[in-house]
Each structure stands twice: as C-alpha cells, then as structure tokens.
Chains A and B, each alone.
Chain A
Amino acid sequence: MKPAAFDYLRPSTVEEACQYLQEYGEEGKLIAGGQSLVPILNMRLSTPECLIDISGLEELKYIREEGDWLHIGALTRQRDVERSALVREKTPLLAEALPYIGHMQTRNRGTFGGSLVHADPTAEIPLSLLALQAAVVIQSAEETREVNVEDFFITYLTTDLMPNEMLREVKIPTGSIPKGYSFQEYSRKHGDFALVAAACVLDVDEQERIASVRLTLGGVDAVPVLAREVEGLILGEKLTDSLLLEAGRAAAADIDPEGDLHASREYRLHLAEVFAARVLETAYHRAVLGKGSAT
C-alpha cells in the first residue's frame, strides 16, 4: 500500500506551521506522530493535497507544572507522558489510562495532542481529559484561544478546531487532586479499540461520603460522554453495594450507543453499566484509602 501523492511541508516553528495552515486551509493536513493518520493515508481513506509535518517541532514537546496547572505540549509522545513521574503524581488517572492506548510500539511515536484532535470516541486520552476538566490551547496565525475539553468534541473525528488552527497544549487543573481515580476498558484483546471505556475521579469527605465525582464513558456515543446523572445520585452518599448498582444503571441510562460489527447496542449498554460501576468502586476505595493515609 502506498498513500496517494501529496505535497510535503516541514515548518520549523509553530508560527510557520500556522502560516501554512492559513495558506492551505482545507487542503492542508497536519501530521504529527502519524499513528492514526498514516493508516488512513495508506488505505487511501483520505487523500490530502498537502501534508504539514509538525512532528519535529521540539517547542511543543514538554510536560511541566505551572501554578495549579499541568501543561502538556501537543507533540509530547504518549510514551513520555506514560513514563512521566510528574504525570503519575499529579494526574494518576492519566498515567493509568495511557498504557491502554494501542501498543508500546505505537505510543513510542504517537503524540498526546494527536490522539486528542483525532477525536476517536473510544480513545483514552479524550476520555481522561474530560474527567479531569482539562482545557486545550489552540493557535492559528490570527489568534490563540482556550477551550474546555467539554466543548472541544463535536462528533466522530470532529473537534472545535478550524482548518487554519492547531492544538498547542493541554492544561490540566491540579489545584485539588482527587484521591480517587480509576480507568478501565474492555476490548477483545489488549491494544484493540475499546468497545467501552470508563474513567472516574472522585473525592470523599471525613465521613467517607462522596464529595465530588466525575465519571466519563467512551465508545458509547459519537463523543466521550460525561455521566451527569451519576453525580446527582451519589453526591453526599457513602458508596454501598446497592448504590453502586444503581449508579451503574444511571450511567447507562444517560447514553444511546450504536451497534456495529464489534458489539451490539445491547452489549455496549451492558458493558457501560458494568464498567461505570467498576471504575466508581475502584475510585471510591482509593479515595477512602487516600483519606485514611492523609489523616
């Protein structure tokens, strides 16, 4: 297989990349790690006129903490995020989610921002960032703007990015790091696209009642979904077995998945219920344990 012919541009700065985007508009496509784009090119599902290769832009490869925010440059390799001590300490949810992405051999090349802008509804990074209330910084030749991840995903493989814009970095709030977290997903074999994935961050108060919770589900809609009804149901409560079952059902009540070759609608609903309950349970126990060790 061979991609269809394209013009190749390699900017040496972010500004130059933005100028190319301005110039080529819809005809120009950014390539970073290429772990989603190159298969699409090889199979000729996409035949862009022009590829703008930003994979060498070192200025967008970083992980650093500034104030109450963790900043991750869009071109940071997934494997570097996975192995970062700072990420493990500040956003353990993300550290737990990353090994589920593809394989070590694709994470070595794939970028953090690339997965986000590709916006596959089963992808681990979008799902985790939705749970973590992250924001993204977007740049074009004209302006720099910030968008909450909650407003970033439009539909399958479609985000708020305009053709002349690129993702610069991701910002994750670290002011109050939830002690409870869990990421789990189901796929036929490791590295496959998840049939259903679930992420949860959660905190408890002194009486082990749930003080805050965000639970997100992937693979159940065109975009990652925040299960809002769960929050209303369990806030202020201790997590009992019966409440856990109820919360799982509430999470699945929020969604309307489509059936496909890989799993029927009914099976996805079942998995959503089971995995919502699992991440909730794990996150709750971690939060309670964390509270215990802190006092």
Chain B
Amino acid sequence: MQVKREERYSLRLQVNGKRYEEQVEPRKLLSDFLREDCGLTGTHVGCEHGVCGACTVLVDGRAVRSCLILAIQAEGADITTVEGLAQGGKPHPLQEAFSECHALQCGFCTPGILMSSVEFLQTHADPGKEEIADMLSGHLCRCTGYKGIVEAVQQVADRRKEGEKHESGDPVSICSRTAPTV
C-alpha cells in the first residue's frame, strides 16, 4: 500500500464502538485524528512527544500514547477514548472513584490517566500502591500531587475485590472504605 504525501487516505477504524471513515494525510497523528476528525476532544494533547501522558487512549485494549502513533498506522484498530468509558449515562467506576477521592483538579491529565488505569486494573487483580505509582509514572499531573489518584485507583480495585467476596457469600460491606484522610 502506498500513499503520496499530498494524497488523502480513506482511513477506517472504530472508536468507542462506532465506525469511522475519514480522509487523512499520512502525517496526521492519531491524537489529532481523534480530536479533529472524530470530534472527540476528551483526549487531551499536552507535550506531543510522549512524555506527559495526557493523550493516552486504548488501542486494541492497550494503553498507548495517541501522539506517538500516526492515524494511518491505526487502520482497522478498535480504539477506546475517555468518551467511551461511561455506559448508559452512568459513569465508569473509575470516574466515580476519581470524583469521590478528589483525584482531579484542573482535569487536563485525567482522561489519559483514566485510560491507563482501565488497562492497569484489567491486568492487576490486587495492585499495591507501588504498582499504581509505577503505572502513573507515565503521566504528569501538576495539581493533585498524585495522592488522590493513587487512592481512587486503589478504591476501585478494593471494591472490585470486596464485590467478589460479597458475591461468594462473605458479608463485607461494598462501601467500607471511607473518604481519604489527608
């Protein structure tokens, strides 16, 4: 397959379960494609060279920097952005936990962190604080000091674990965790 620099390529891929077909230049970044061509401005663009993590999305289930992928490279991919997290008007458990734990202030870094956390929780059944901090090392937040973010991710993991116990007959309250202490 060959596309000349001045040509537009008819790119097909899926974002949040919806199919898109848009005309793109080969040099267009996936982050710009999502914002400009799909109108999904929830994916934020910060440093544009892979350092800040704000543009993180899921490509075929894996958290990656959308500023470090050419849109044309994502042909046929299944992409999830922050707009795809809430289902049926109900926020994703991570979004609820971020709200409860004050895990965001200005919110610029939040969409990227949420997307990384989604993959992280899928691959870590019972994460420790250090593992969460390690996952967050790929994200810059200049407001929160990260404490609330670590607690929010931990809370979702804890609730999930308690929920499983609950289902297996263990009488543990699902909402045993109180507001974070300062």
Interface string of A1-44 (1 = CB under 8 A from B): 11111111110100000000000000000010011001101110
Q: Do B69 and A8 touch (CB < 8 A)?
A: no
CA distance A42 to B119 in the complex (A): 26
Q: Is the Cβ of B65 less than 8 Å from the Cβ of A7? A: no
Q: With a CB–CB cut-off of 8 A, which chain B residues contact A79?
A: 62
Q: Are A39 and B50 in contact, with the CB atoms below 8 A?
A: yes
Using CB atoms, name the residue of chain B closest to A37.
B68
Please determine whether A42 and B2 come into contact, CB atoms closer than 8 angstroms. no
| B69–A109 touching, CB < 8 Å | yes
A190 pairs with B134, CB closer than 8 A: yes
Q: Which of A12, A38, A189 contacts B70 (CB 8 A)?
A: A38
Q: Pick 18 A–B contacts, CB within 8 A, sort by A.
A: A1-B49, A2-B28, A5-B6, A6-B26, A7-B26, A9-B2, A31-B73, A35-B68, A38-B67, A38-B70, A51-B26, A53-B73, A79-B62, A104-B116, A104-B120, A104-B135, A105-B138, A108-B119
A-B contacts counted at CB < 8 A amount to 108
With known contacts A8-B72, A51-B26, A106-B65, A191–B1 Cβ distance under 8 A: no
| Contact assessment for A106 and B27 in the assembled complex, using a CB-CB cutoff below 8 Å | no
Name the residue on B nearest A50 (C-beta): B5
With known contacts A7-B2, A8-B2, A190-B137, A39–B68 Cβ distance under 8 A: yes
Q: Which residues of A contact B (CB under 8 A)?
A: 1-10, 12, 31, 34-35, 38-39, 41-43, 51, 53, 55, 79, 99, 102-106, 108-109, 189-191
Q: Assess A2 versus B67: contact at CB under 8 Å? Given A9-B2, A39-B49, A106-B138.
A: no
A contacts with B: majority SS: loop
Chain B residues near A39 (CB-CB < 8 A) = 49-50, 68
CB neighbours of A31 from chain B (8 A):
70, 73
Task: Name B's A-contacting residues (CB within 8 A).
Answer: 1-6, 9, 25-29, 32, 48-50, 53, 56, 59, 62-65, 67-70, 72-73, 116, 119-120, 134-135, 137-138
CB–CB B63/A108 < 8 A: yes
Q: Which of B25, B73, B134, B138 has the most CB of A within 10 A?
A: B73
A residues less than 8 Å from B29 (CB atoms):
2-3, 38, 42
Q: Evaluate contact between A7 and B4: CB separation under 8 angstroms.
A: yes
Nearest to B1 among chain A residues (CB) is A10
Are A191 and B68 neighbours in the complex by a CB distance under 8 Å? no
Q: Nearest residue in B to A41 (C-beta to C-beta)?
A: B27
Question: Known contacts A103-B137, A108-B62, A189-B137: does B27 contact A4 (CB below 8 Å)?
Answer: yes
A104 to B56, CA, bound (A): 11
Considering only CB atoms, which chain B residue lies closest to A191 in the complex? Answer: B137
Interfacial chain A residues near B3, Cβ < 8 Å: 7-9
Report the separation of the CA atoms of residues A103 and B137 in the bound assembly, to the nearest whole angstrom. Answer: 7
With beta carbons under 8 angstroms apart, the residue of A5, A10, A34, A103 that contacts B5 is A5
A189 to B9, CA, bound (A): 40
